[in-house]
Structure 1
Amino acid sequence: MFDAEEAAAALVAALAALGTPERARAEKAYLKSDLDFLGVTVPVLRKTVTATARAHPEPTRAELLAWVDALWLRSVHESRFAAIELLRLHLRVLTRAELPLVERLIRESAGWVYVDTLAEKVAGVLMGRDPADFATADAWAADEDFWVRRAALLSLLPGIRAGAPDLVRFDRHADAMLDEREFFIRKAIGWLLREIAKRDPAYVIAWTTAHRARMSGVTLREAIRRLPTADAARLRAG
């Protein structure tokens, strides 16, 4: 029988053997986190979690959620990162019923290093299975927690990268948040525009032109990064 606590402890022990105190100190300072750090690099962390996941039989939904919970409850950066990776790796056993769980993890994360993956790689994929589920993103976009609002924006990334952007929803949410002073919101709006520009620069040129007076410097810099040089220069000049 699968023991979630035992599996979590074994994974954290394996990760602990791969870290260094120097990296642990540096990463903790960089992320300004109260969590403990093992000092494992992201590529090694992901490789280890993937190998561990493959070594186990495909978990049931209940087993996966118990495993994720056991990892998340540890106040260790790599353990929480591993919990998110397991959700990402086993999306096929998850359903829209997990969106409240993802929202809870986003609220408890309060940091881009966890929120961004949860928003794009987990929530965005789950919502994308049925467009009606993006009503969750609409609710998040009006939330008091700016990390939840950022997640609403980033949940649109899978569609954008697949060449099927929800431009109506992007416009509605980005316009509503454009005047915010929070850096992570400003950066997210620019990030989405940058990704849209890879396939549809005309849309980004038109959107940026229409909203230029309200855009912060960080939003503008990201938005024009993938535009033709002449268009980027014109928009930068205002």
Structure 2
Amino acid sequence: MDVEGEAARVLAELRAQADPVRAEYEKRYLKSDFVHIGVTVPALRKVALSTVKAKPARDELLALAETFWGVTDEGRPVHEARMAAIEVLAKRVALLEPRDMGLAERFIRDSASWVYVDHLAEKSVGALVVRYPDLATTLDAWVADPYMWIRRAAVLALLPGVRTGNPDLGRIDRYGDALIAEREFFIRKALGWVLRELSKKDPAWVAAWVEPRVGTISGVTLREAVRHLPPAEVARIRA
């Protein structure tokens, strides 16, 4: 694969679809300091994934992701290029190996918004943890990390296990207690999301976890956690 050539082609195609109005809206919505071209998610995904349709080798995939991630315009990262990096990794996540957790962590630490962190946490980190369960020890370190986005990633990386019917209940329990007093909205929301998804498959576990913590759990976490529980159960817990 001509990595530089493919990256240049993708950027040219994205710029050809530029929508300045959408770009300005996205910048405001994401409170972003990055350069935004203004391309819809489906269009961006279609163009980005055309680069990995031919099933690249692992080193080519990583080089492509690194190249997209490093694209700048007037010294600022380009939003759509970073999203392209995330999309190609997610599409060919089966090529990733345990050592690639380092790349995902570096990208997360270099992120400044949930829009990048959430995709990396679930589609790349979470997928790796499902395939290589021993990697979950990395999440144990992340959940206590000073950087808020790394803590959020640790929680959201548990989602693939929940969705595939193999939830790591021990870690959900421990991470929940470790983060229950968090002041950061994005951490509270992430914990609520994991509990909400788990409640679709194991509502009894979620109800039993939430009930004794009603006095300390944040409102946003509680709202998400009980969203899919039976109304009578929610009323009892809230009472």
Give the TM-score of the pair, scaled to structure 1: 0.95
Q: Say which of 197, 200, 223 aligns to 2:199.
A: 197
Q: How many residues align?
A: 234
Q: Contact 1:142–1:149 (CA<8 Å) still a contact in 2?
A: yes
The aligned runs of 1:48-59 (5 Å cut-off) are 48-54=47-53, 57-59=54-56
Which residue does 1:76 correspond to in 2? 78
Deviation of 1:45 (Å): 1.3
TM-superposed CA distance for 1:9, in Å, is 1.2
| Unpaired runs of at least 5, structure 1 | none
4+ residue runs over 6 A deviation:
none
Separation in 2 of the partners of 1:3 and 1:102? 23
In the alignment, structure 1 residue 65 sits paired with structure 2 residue 50: no
Asked if 1:216 corresponds to 2:218, the answer is yes
Partners of 1:3 and 1:51 in 2: CA distance: 13
| 1:108-187 correspondence runs (5 A) | 108-187=110-189
Task: Report the identity percentage.
Answer: 53
Shift of 1:133: 1.1
Partner in structure 1 of residue 26 of structure 2 = 27
CA distance in 2, matches of 1:101, 1:35: 21
Superposition RMSD in Å: 1.1
| Paired amino acid for 1:43 | P
User: Shift of the alpha carbon at 1:66?
Assistant: 1.1
Q: TM-score when scaled to structure 2?
A: 0.95
Query: Deviations along 1:10-59, whole A, 9 cap, x unmatched?
Result: 111111112310000000111011110011111221122223322xx321
**Offset from partner CA, 1:118-142 (integer Å, 9 cap, x none):** 0011001111112111111111111
Whether the aligned pair in 1 keeps the contact of 2:6 and 2:51 (CA below 8 Å) is no
Cα distance in 1 for residues equivalent to 2:213 and 2:104: 32
Pairwise CA distance, 1:231: 1.2
Asked whether the equivalents of residues 19 and 41 of structure 1 are also in contact (C-alpha less than 8 Å), the reply is no
Q: Which residue of 2 aligns with 1:106?
A: 108
Secondary structure of 1:46's counterpart equals helix
State the Cα distance separating 1:234 from its structure 2 match. 2.6
- In the other structure, the counterpart of 1:15 is 14
Mapped to 2, the partners of 1:82 and 1:65 lie a distance apart of: 12
CA distance in 2, matches of 1:189, 1:69: 30
C-alpha contact (below 8 Å) 2:152/2:186 kept by paired residues: yes
